[in-house]
Amino acid sequence: MTNTMKSLLALCLFCGAGAVSTAETPVRHTSFKPGEIWTDNNGVHINAHGGGILYDKGTYYWYGEHKVEGDAGNRAQVGVHCYSSRDLYNWKDEGIALKVVEGDNSHPIAKGCILERPKVVYNKKTKKYVMWFHLELRGKGYGSAYAGVATATKPTGPFTFLKAGRVNPGKWPLNMDKKDQTMKTFKGVPGLTSSALPEGVRSEDMFKKDFEKGQMSRDMTIFVDDDGKAYHIYSSEENSTTHIAELTPDYTEHTGKFVRVFPGRFMEAPAIFKHKGKYYFIASGCTGWAPNAARSAVAPRIAGPWTELKNPCVGPKAGSTFGGQSTYILPVQGKPGKFIFMADIWRPQNAIDGRYMWLPIQFDGDQIKLEWKDEWKLEDM
**Angstrom distance (rounded) from CA 218 to CA 17:** 49
Q: What is the CA radius of gyration of the chain?
A: 23
Residue 72 has a pLDDT of 65
Report whether pLDDT(12) > 50.
Answer: no
Section 337-345 average pLDDT: 98
- The CA-CA-CA angle for residues 274, 164, 262, to 5°, reads 40
Average pLDDT, the chain: 93
pTM for this predicted structure:
0.93
Helix (H, G, I), strand (E, B) or coil at 18: helix
Contact assessment for residue 308 and residue 297, using Cβ atoms and an 8 Å cutoff: yes
Section 213-238 average pLDDT: 98
Q: Each residue of 139-195: pLDDT tens digit? A: 999 999 999 999 999 999 999 999 999 999 999 999 999 999 999 989 899 888 889
% helix, strand, coil for the chain, step of 5: 10, 40, 50
Helix (H, G, I), strand (E, B) or coil at 6: helix
For residue 4, give the H/E element and its range: helix 3-24
- Cα dihedral across residues 278, 281, 282, 285: positive or negative: negative
**Angstrom distance (rounded) from CA 42 to CA 17:** 19
Among the listed residues 148, 4, 184, 162, the one whose alpha carbon sits nearest the alpha carbon of residue 76: 148
Tell me which of 198 and 32 has the higher pLDDT. 32
Distances from the Cα of 58 to the Cαs of 4, 61, 87, 170, 301, in angstroms? 57, 10, 10, 42, 29
Give the burial string for 215-252 (b: 16+ CB within 10 Å, else e): bbbbbbbbbbeeeeebbbbbbbbbbbbbbbbbbeeebb
